[in-house]
Amino acid sequence: MKKFLPYYPMLKPVIGTFVIALLCGALSGIASGFGLPLMLKKVLPVLFAGTAPQDLELINFDSSQELFGGISATWLPDIHLVVPANYVLIFALLLMPLVFIIRGVAMFGNTYLLNLCGIRVLESIRMKLFTHLQHLHLGFFGKNKSGDLLSRTTGDTMLVKTVLVEVTNDLVIQPFTLVGAVGFIVWSAFQSAATQQFLLSLCVVPISVLPVQFIGKRLLKRSKKMLVSAGELSSVLSESLQAPREIRAYNLEERECSRFRKCVRDFFALQMKCVKYDKMLTPLIEIIAACSISFAVYQAAAAKLDQDTVIALVGALYFAYDPIKKLGKINNRVKEGTAGLARLEEIWQAPIEVADPANPHPLGVVRGEINFRDVTFGYTDVPVLRGVSFEAKPGDTIALVGPSGAGKSSLVNLIPRFYDVSIGSVAVDGIDVRDVRLADLRKNIAIVSQEPILFNDTIYNNILIGRLDATREEVIAAAKRASALEFIESLDNGWDTVVGERGGRLSGGQRQRIAVARAFLRDAPILILDEATSALDTESEAQIQVSLEELVRGRTTFMIAHRFSSIRTAKRILVFDEGKIIADGPHEKIYESCPLYRGLYDQQAMEKIS
Ligand code: ADP
């Protein structure tokens, strides 16, 4: 449980409700452990005496009698509490519903309030996780599969919540049932010497807790494996749900089904191992307990203990075992929770590598001057950019050209600090990007990428993402400049059309126009066009190109494009090869001086002719 201690403050917002839940639980525990055996002891003789009701002796404690274990208690007062005969039957008949009413209401209060706390705590755990995920740098998402992260956010958080709420509840209230039941047993022991002998023979009972530890260890190991397997399953599922087109186009249906089948089977096999150890615990405890009780009952028979006392004592013993059983189960829940917590901590403890500086340099609207000084960068130890230096003046349009994998996208990703440089620096208006607040920096940058991500929301809200405080007029104006107004107004629901997951209900060209409208709305001095028109057909490309030409005007623009036709507005071209700039200048100049550029350009010109 030690590992969970730092997370208990999550209960703070619901602490009042949680305490009431625990009080209800304690009451129901005492009602079960003490109330029910007492009821059995008192009511059974009355109901089954076969004669008219007699005076009912509630407590008959004689202090001269030797106590449990031979202790003398002559210093205690004698207690005799007797209910008069007239009331005996009514009392006997009312006691049963009364105990069950107290127990039932308290139990309901306990479980209801506990669920309420559980939901709030789960919300806190998931929010903590989600918030951290939102601030982690992109490299983290490269290393972790989205399906697995999904599984941690939904599944593993539940296990941790169970420990913080349900297990804590059981840890507090089960001892009350136990103490209630043991209290009744001890109280009975005060009453007769035969009972004491019966109880002495119960000393073998504690061995019934032995399986708890044995099973707990095995369950922890299996739970860890099962959670990893659940993550795999989610990954396969989310991957295939995100690529239904590709799966059909490449006839991968069977392959996907067998991949999924394997994951499901592995997961179920591990799940069954957990179920085996989890469900094995109760019967094991019960078998051992039954053996020891049976031994004790034999002792009771030998000591000529009366039947009603035996029944009541066995009832009390049952209620004493219930908490032991539950405490055993708690051990299992804690082991499962520990496995889940370890996986959540991998996320919580992942450092936010790209973070705001301690003393950020204020940054308003920038002019758009950008300086790369001797930049070396790599996703791993292998650099993908090596000693890159150049300067972009405000308003420059720079095209990045080079073979695939040369490092063009990696370079533009350093400007909004999606990643940080390993060596060197990137500066905007002469200020190192690591010295300003991320939000201030990114406010100055608009990005249009190859596959714009639209959220499953209305077209209006999808454009509004560009600048959340924009007015309706500004959103409409941005759509107009992006040549998107016409198609938006022709849709049945117009601006209120919901675009579907990832914008699936729109065409590629329409999605891209929304992305361009977002960039117009953002009106940022720095613009990054990363293969913005590569996924489009030539007709859509030509239409969007007109809007893009207007968009780049007056902004420092970085353009990555495979098609040379789309970089015609660039006055300056940087040619990349293996992470280095090998040529820098206008088209005419580098066409003459750079064989790699000339080769790429001519190859495309040839393809166009053929
Ligand atoms: P380009 O844009 O010129 O095609 P990139 O900048 O995308 O090239 O990639 C440069 C190199 O970095 C490639 O070798 C690529 O495999 C690698 N790379 C790109 N993105 C990642 C990533 N998220 N994690 C690890 N390696 C990456």
The protein residue with its alpha carbon nearest to ligand 1, atom 1, reads: 405
Give the model's confidence band at 58: pLDDT under 50 very low, under 70 low, under 90 confident, else very high: low
pLDDT of 330 > 70? The answer is: yes
- 556's tokens: 């420092």
Return the pLDDT at 20: 92
396 CA → ligand 1 middle, Å: 25
Please write the tens of the pLDDT for every residue from 567-591.
766 788 888 888 888 888 888 888 8
- Burial (CB < 10 A; 0-12, 13-18, 19+), residue 165, is buried
Atom of ligand 1 minimally distant from the CA of 413: 6
- Report CA dihedral (515, 516, 522, 526) to the nearest 10 degrees: 110
Atom of ligand 1 minimally distant from the CA of 576: 3
The protein residue with its alpha carbon nearest to ligand 1, atom 26, reads: 379
Please write the tens of the pLDDT for every residue from 120-156.
888 888 888 888 888 888 888 878 888 888 888 888 8
157 or 93, greater pLDDT: 157
pLDDT of 5 > 60? The answer is: yes
pLDDT of 51 > 60? The answer is: no
237 CA → ligand 1 middle, Å: 26
500 CA → ligand 1 middle, Å: 30
594 CA → ligand 1 middle, Å: 23
- Burial (CB < 10 A; 0-12, 13-18, 19+), residue 41, is buried
pLDDT of 285 > 80? The answer is: no
421 CA → ligand 1 middle, Å: 14
* Helix H or strand E encompassing 557: strand 556-560
Atom of ligand 1 minimally distant from the CA of 404: 4
Share of the chain above pLDDT 70, in %: 88
Atom of ligand 1 minimally distant from the CA of 406: 3
410 CA → ligand 1 middle, Å: 6
236 CA → ligand 1 middle, Å: 24
241 CA → ligand 1 middle, Å: 25
353 CA → ligand 1 middle, Å: 19
Return the pLDDT at 537: 67
Of 137, 410, 558, 559, which is best to mutate to test ligand 1, by the most ligand atoms within 8 angstroms of its C-beta? 410
The protein residue with its alpha carbon nearest to ligand 1, atom 16, reads: 405
Return the pLDDT at 348: 85
379 CA → ligand 1 middle, Å: 8
Atom of ligand 1 minimally distant from the CA of 380: 25
445 CA → ligand 1 middle, Å: 21
What is the residue-wise DSSP string for 197-251?
Answer: HHHHGGGGGGGGGHHHHHHHHHHHHHHHHHHHHHHHHHHHHHHHHH-HHHHHHTT
* Helix H or strand E encompassing 527: strand 526-530
Please answer whether residues 583 and 594 qualify as being in contact, where contact means their C-beta atoms are separated by less than 8 angstroms.
yes
Q: Which of 71-80, 165-174, 263-272 has the lowest mean pLDDT?
A: 71-80
Domains of the chain, by residue range, sit at 2-237+266-348, 366-443+564-610
* Helix H or strand E encompassing 86: helix 85-135
Please write the tens of the pLDDT for every residue from 381-424.
889 999 888 898 898 888 898 888 888 889 999 999 988 898 88
The protein residue with its alpha carbon nearest to ligand 1, atom 13, reads: 405
- 467's tokens: 């600048």
pLDDT of 565 > 80? The answer is: no
The protein residue with its alpha carbon nearest to ligand 1, atom 12, reads: 384
The protein residue with its alpha carbon nearest to ligand 1, atom 25, reads: 379
Q: Which of 58-62, 193-197, 435-439, 596-600 has the lowest mean pLDDT?
A: 193-197
Return the pLDDT at 426: 92
347 CA → ligand 1 middle, Å: 24
Report the candidate in 156, 417, 199 with the shortest Cα–Cα distance to residue 300: 199
Atom of ligand 1 minimally distant from the CA of 402: 3
The protein residue with its alpha carbon nearest to ligand 1, atom 7, reads: 409
Q: What is the mean pLDDT of residues 473-480?
A: 87
For the domain bounded by 2-237+266-348, which CATH number is listed? 1.20.1560.10
Cα dihedral sign, 362-417-500-548: positive
Return the pLDDT at 230: 87
408 CA → ligand 1 middle, Å: 8
Give the model's confidence band at 449: pLDDT under 50 very low, under 70 low, under 90 confident, else very high: confident
The protein residue with its alpha carbon nearest to ligand 1, atom 5, reads: 407
The protein residue with its alpha carbon nearest to ligand 1, atom 27, reads: 379
Report the candidate in 412, 388, 392, 391 with the shortest Cα–Cα distance to residue 400: 412
Q: Alpha-carbon distance 190 to 336, whole Å? A: 42
pLDDT of 323 > 70? The answer is: yes
Of 379, 451, 600, which is best to mutate to test ligand 1, by the most ligand atoms within 8 angstroms of its C-beta? 379
Q: What is the mean pLDDT of residues 303-329?
A: 73
> Using the 8-state DSSP alphabet, how is residue 65 labeled?
S
Atom of ligand 1 minimally distant from the CA of 403: 3
Residues sharing a CB contact under 8 Å with residue 256, sequence separation 6 or more, in sequence order: 236, 240, 247
- Binning the chain into helix, strand and coil, the percentages to the nearest 5 are 65, 10, 25
Of 146, 376, 380, 384, which is best to mutate to test ligand 1, by the most ligand atoms within 8 angstroms of its C-beta? 384
The protein residue with its alpha carbon nearest to ligand 1, atom 24, reads: 379
138 CA → ligand 1 middle, Å: 13
The protein residue with its alpha carbon nearest to ligand 1, atom 14, reads: 405
Superfamily, domain 366-443+564-610: P-loop containing nucleotide triphosphate hydrolases (3.40.50.300)
Q: Alpha-carbon distance 425 to 434, whole Å? A: 9
Q: Is 453 helix (H, G, I), strand (E, B) or coil?
A: coil
Atom of ligand 1 minimally distant from the CA of 400: 3
Cα dihedral sign, 461-466-472-477: negative
Atom of ligand 1 minimally distant from the CA of 411: 6
Atom of ligand 1 minimally distant from the CA of 410: 6
- Residues at CB less than 6 angstroms from ligand 1: 142, 379, 384, 402, 404-410
- For 399-448, give the secondary structure using H, E and C: EEECCCCCCHHHHHHCCCCCCCCCEEEEEECCEEHHHCCHHHHHHCEEEE
Of 380, 382, 408, 409, which is best to mutate to test ligand 1, by the most ligand atoms within 8 angstroms of its C-beta? 409
What order do you get walking across the sheet with 385-392 strand by strand?
385-392, 370-377, 423-428, 431-432
- 514's tokens: 């929304």
The protein residue with its alpha carbon nearest to ligand 1, atom 11, reads: 405
* Helix H or strand E encompassing 263: helix 253-302
The yes-or-no answer to whether 2-237+266-348 and 366-443+564-610 have a common fold is no
- 532's tokens: 């913005």
Share of the chain above pLDDT 90, in %: 4
407 CA → ligand 1 middle, Å: 6
